[in-house]
Amino acid sequence: MIDGVQQTGPLEWEVPVGYIPGMRVPGRFFLSTALASTVETGAVQQLAQVATLPGIQTHSLAMPDIHWGYGFPIGGVAAFDIEQGIISPGGVGFDINCGVRLMTTPLTPADLTQKKELVNALFGAVPVGVGARSKKTLSQADLTAMMQQGAGWAVRAGYGMPDDIIHSEEQGCMKDADIAFVSDKARLRGLPQGGTLGAGNHFLELQVVQEILDPVAASAFGLVQGTVCLMIHCGSRGLGHQVCTDHLRELEQATKKYHIHLPDRQLACAPLTSPEGMAYFGAMAASANYAWANRQMIMHEARIIIEKITGAPYDEMRLVYDVAHNVAKKEEHIVDERKKMVCVHRKGATRAFGPKSPDLPNDYAKTGQPVIIPGSMGTSSFVLAGTDTAMKKTFGSTCHGAGRVMSRSQAKKKIDGKGIREKLAKQGILVRAPHDAAIAEEAPGVYKSSSEVVSVVDAIGISHLVARLEPLAVIKG
């Protein structure tokens, strides 16, 4: 392990105050011995740097999928006092509300007699790749409604069912959205991209529920062993990226204005209550709502195609849940033994609220929030449930995926995308992508083991394993 980092438990590590100058709280991350060699010194440095920010509460945190990112480490979680704390785009990321949703179907793999036709139809219906443009014609009024109303707009516009809204984090809409702080350039980028997947690690994946680990929670979530599910992973597209870019410029100036000393300019921030902080928060929330509407539109298209090709009824394809893993939100948590409103930044981390949390739908009140953790292409994905332990230890947060161990540029040099596609085909997993380089960038070997990552969060108790899903077909952005 890295010099200066102390192991405080079988799976817990601490970066003590003093590791770098100016730390206000310790850093804490969760990791198994098997994953210890994957931790970059730079990611631990970033974790310590986050601990220097004004108003940070208890710890700077990171999940077992921790790796180096922009500003905050990916896998990072930090909560800030509403009055004294800051907000930072580096704690959210450029792809605002990149997130995952999982939909069940009544199908089994044996029902997918036209699997290749189904995958090709999905690939044709959901635009993928850099700069992908929607086949839907949206107006400026539609775009405004997407940013203000999120998934609710999409359902009311005919892209889904009312039950979908209930089964989304925040019911698919942050009420703090303020479109006044979304630039014309961001709107221009977002207008043609509603209902598109994009590129990078975004995907659609047909999966089978391979193993049930908690029958009670699985039943509540509608997960049945041997049935087919669809997982969707994408975010706010060019709109969110532009919002981040625009406000980073403003917040770099605000950092100087408010005399905030930073160990890294990528942590550009402003007091949450300042005009600059409120402007970013409002624009970020609008971008998050756009992302929820985007995933809702994609799911709607997928339902139509699955119904057409397999005969599975549209209304029997149920949304389990939709979770964000790049966002900052105002939430109430216990800090120093009292309830307190804080602004929780989750950068490559998933909300994992425990049983009886007020934001959860009634059917999940006893189990805790569904937590959806995708694997890398060709490997297991998992459904977990949020816990009371997460509420106490991590501001209701857990991991978000496997975590990269190789950059995209390295992957393209070292990995043969065509070979990966052919290898997966021999395993019965169909892969469609805009080009083989997109497959190489996201090959299983460039990520940590998803099984190992989720075993850590399950053992610590910050989320609880419910089911394991295996891929049947993958559409890569």
Active site residues: 400
Contact (Cβ atoms closer than 8 angstroms) between residue 19 and residue 48: yes
Phi-psi region of 35 (alpha: psi -120 to 50; beta: other; left: phi over 0): alpha
Selection from 374, 325, 369 nearest residue 462 by Cα: 369
Q: Which of 277, 199, 286 is nearest to 239 (CA)?
A: 286
DSSP 420-434: HHHHHHHTT-EEE-S
162's torsion region: left (phi>0), alpha (psi -120 to 50) or beta?
Answer: alpha
C-alpha atoms less than 13 angstroms from C-alpha of 309 in its C-beta half-sphere? 19
| Contact criterion met (CB below 8 Å) for 205 and 471 | yes
Structure token digits, residue 122: 């999905």
CA 68 → CA 72, 77, 127, 268, 287, distances in Å? 8, 14, 29, 17, 24
DSSP states of 1-12 = --TT-EEEETTE
Q: Please, which residues have CB within 8 angstroms of residue 281's CB and are 6 or more apart in sequence?
A: 87, 176, 178, 272, 328, 343
Tokens matching residue 50: 């986050």
Residues 285 and 281: their CA atoms lie apart, in Å, by 6
Residue type, position 12, single letter: E
CA quadruple 409, 415, 419, 423: dihedral sign: negative
Question: What amino acid is encoded at 6 in this protein?
Answer: Q
Helix (H, G, I), strand (E, B) or coil at 475: strand
Residue of 174, 212, 217 whose CA lies nearest to 364: 217
The whole-angstrom distance between residue 151's C-alpha and the CA centroid of its chain comes to 16
Answer for the pair 402, 379: CB distance below 8 angstroms, yes or no.
yes
- Token pair, residue 343, equals 């602004």
